[in-house]
Amino acid sequence: MSNKVHEKLDNSHRKTNYNRTTNYNRETDYNNSLKDNYYDSISKGYEELHKEEQLNKINIIKQHINIKPNSKILDLGCGPYFSEWHKDKHNKNLNCEVTGLDPSNELLKLAAKKGINPVLGKAESLPFPNNYFDYVFSITAIQNFDDVEKALKEIKRVIKKSSEVVITILKTSAKKEAITNLIRKHFNITKVIEEDKDIILFIKT
């Protein structure tokens, strides 16, 4: 990352309000890995491939968590933003500020059309101030992170105290046990639900 971008991010940590103009057009020197390019390449068919199964997980989560109106929400690995965290289980708009972070520029273009603040980036280096978000969600993404423990430390940094995090892990991932152990190391898991594809972990900070 260039010194100029570092300076911008350092300054943002000193501000009380996160600059919402941050978006996927911000110049960055992240090197796209093969998996990032893969998600770019399938972006046009991604919703058709994954929407139904992702919505099933999201609906389960919304049955077990009550998002408060006007909250600040981070969707980590948001993809095209199926989740609609700004709406409750009854589809009522909660007027939340939702930021979606993803390493795929093409998926973020789809997410941007749904009214969220899209940010191109990696979970291991979140460009947000400390103690900023009320909720962090990461759905079927953590097994793809380059450094899971570093990402968990970043989540811990940006989430407020007495807030909620929900992370789901793909059940077929060879890393699921190691990832679960790392999550237990850094967070208090209050509930675990297994659905068809994922293990859903509910966390209180």
The pTM score is 0.79
Which pLDDT belongs to residue 17? 42
For the residues of 110-152, what is the DSSP string, one character each? Answer: HHHTTT-EEEE--TTS--S-TT-EEEEEE-S-GGG-S-HHHHH
Which pLDDT belongs to residue 189? 98
Which pLDDT belongs to residue 49? 56
Which pLDDT belongs to residue 13? 40
* pLDDT 10s digits, 142-172: 999 999 999 999 999 999 999 999 999 999 9
In the chain, which residues have pLDDT < 70?
1-51
Rounded to 5 degrees, what are φ and ψ at 58? -65, -40
Which pLDDT belongs to residue 37? 55
The domains of the chain, with CATH numbers, are 3-204 (3.40.50.150)
Q: How far apart are CA 143 and CA 87, in angstroms?
A: 26
What percent of the chain shows pLDDT beyond 70?
75
Q: How far apart are CA 156 and CA 194, in angstroms?
A: 24
For CA atoms 194, 197, 199, 204, give the dihedral sign.
negative
Pairing state of beta strands 198-204 and 159-170? antiparallel
* pLDDT 10s digits, 84-111: 999 998 989 999 999 999 999 988 999 9
Which pLDDT belongs to residue 23? 42
Structural tokens at position 117: 């603040």
